[in-house]
Amino acid sequence: MSKRTEYSLEEPDALSSVVSKLDLRAEVYLEGHFCGNWAVNTSGLRKIPFHLIAYGEAWLHLDNQPPKRMSAGDMVIFPTDDEHIISNAIEIAPNQKFNQIPEPVENLGEIRDTGMICGFFEFKHQVSWPLLDSLDPVILLGLQQLSETPSLRLLIDLLLNELRRQEAGFHACVNQISYLLFIEILRLQIQQGKVKEGMLAALFDPKINGTLAAIHNQPDKPWTLEQLAKHALMGRSTFAQYFHEKVGMPAMQYLAQWRMARATNLLRTTELSIAQIAEAVGYETESAFRKAYKNRVGIPPGQERKSG
C-alpha cells in the first residue's frame, strides 16, 4: 500500500505551495459575442492564454496542423503561449484583420454568432521553473472530456453563470473560478496519463510529493539528502535515484533551485534585507547566499532587487 501524506492548512501540499509561492494569477479579459468575419490571435503575451466557446462554433488554427472545429463548451489552453488563431472560418483570408470588431453584415439572419470567453493564466513572479514543461503545448478539452470530469464542468458552468448574471463582485468571482480551472486542468492531465514524468508529475507522485512539499514549505531548513530520503521513507540511494528519475534533476539540485526561486520572489516583493532573505532560504551567512545566488541566477541579489 502506498504512503498517503497528510497535510495541514499551515503546510500546503507540493502543488499548492508552487502555485501560491510563484503567485499564480488568472484573469478573464473578454466575454465576446462575434458574428460575421472575425479572427482572434492572443499569442505572444508571454502568458498562458485560454479560450472557451460559450455558444456557437469557431475554428482553431495552429501552425502546421489542419484547422480544428470548436463547439459550445469546448476549451483550449496554450501552456507555452504557442501561436494560434481562432476564427469563424475554416480558412484564414490573406487580408484577415485580427482582434477587431467584425465588420457589419447586410443579412444578420444568415449569420451564426459565437460567444467566446478569453483569459489567461500566469505566474506573476516569473522564474525559471519547469512546472509546465511537460504539458502539451496545446490542450483542447471537448465536451466528452468535460462530461467525464464533473468538477471541471461545474467550474465552467459557474464561470458562464457569473458572466451572465454580472452581479456585484462577478469580476472577482470570474477570476477566482479561472484560477480553480487551472488547477483542475493540471489534475486532468495527470489523471488522463498525458503527463507521466517531469516536475508536474512529481508533484502528484505519492512517494515524493510530501518531500517536495517539505522543501517548498521549509526552504530554510538545513536539509541533507539523508533527511529528505527519511522524509520519503526511503533509503538514501533509492530515494536519490527515484527523485532524479521523476523530477529530472538530483534532489539537492532541486532544493538549491527552489531556494533561488523563493529568494528571487522575496527580493522582488518584500523589503526584507538580503541577510534576512539568506536566512529564510537556508543560508547561514549573507556572503554564502550572495555567492550562490550569483552562480545560479547570473546576477547579484542586489541587482535582482533593483530590476524587480
Low-confidence spans in the chain with pLDDT less than 70: 1-10, 100-111, 125-129, 144, 308
* pLDDT reported for residue 207: 96
Helices (H), ranges, the chain: 14-21, 143-147, 150-165, 170-191, 199-204, 209-217, 225-231, 236-247, 251-269, 274-280, 286-297, 301-307
Interval 172-206: pLDDT, tens: 999 999 999 999 999 999 988 888 888 899 999 99
- Residue at grid coordinates 462554433: 57
Cell of 15: 502543488
* pLDDT reported for residue 192: 87
- Do residues 104 and 39 lie in contact, with contact meaning Cβ atoms separated by under 8 Å? no
The H or E element that residue 1 is part of is none
270 to each of 58, 258, 265, how far by Cα in Å?
44, 18, 8
* pLDDT reported for residue 2: 45
- Do residues 75 and 116 lie in contact, with contact meaning Cβ atoms separated by under 8 Å? no
- Do residues 266 and 272 lie in contact, with contact meaning Cβ atoms separated by under 8 Å? yes
Interatomic CA distance for residues 103 and 167, integer angstroms = 31
Instruction: Give residues with Cβ within 8 angstroms of 6, minimum separation 6.
Output: none
Instruction: Give the residue from 250, 269, 282 showing the smallest Cα distance to 126.
Output: 269
* pLDDT reported for residue 22: 77
* pLDDT reported for residue 196: 84
Interatomic CA distance for residues 170 and 166, integer angstroms = 5
- At residue 59, the 3 state secondary structure works out as strand
* pLDDT reported for residue 129: 60
Q: Domains in the chain, please, with CATH?
A: 14-191 (2.60.120.10), 205-307 (1.10.10.60)
Sort residue 93 into left (φ over 0), alpha (ψ -120 to 50) or beta.
Answer: beta
Interatomic CA distance for residues 105 and 118, integer angstroms = 24
Specify the amino acid at residue 34: F
Q: Please return the burial class of 36, using the count of CB atoms within 10 Å of its CB with bins 0-12, 13-18 and 19+.
A: middle
Q: Name the phi and psi angles at 40, rounded to 5.
A: -125, 135
Interatomic CA distance for residues 29 and 6, integer angstroms = 37
* pLDDT reported for residue 292: 95
Interval 100-124: pLDDT, tens: 654 444 444 555 789 999 999 988 7
* pLDDT reported for residue 51: 93
CA 118 to chain centroid, in Å, comes to 16
Specify the amino acid at residue 285: T
CA 113 to chain centroid, in Å, comes to 31
* pLDDT reported for residue 45: 79
> Across-strand partners of 62?
84
Q: Please return the burial class of 213, using the count of CB atoms within 10 Å of its CB with bins 0-12, 13-18 and 19+.
A: buried
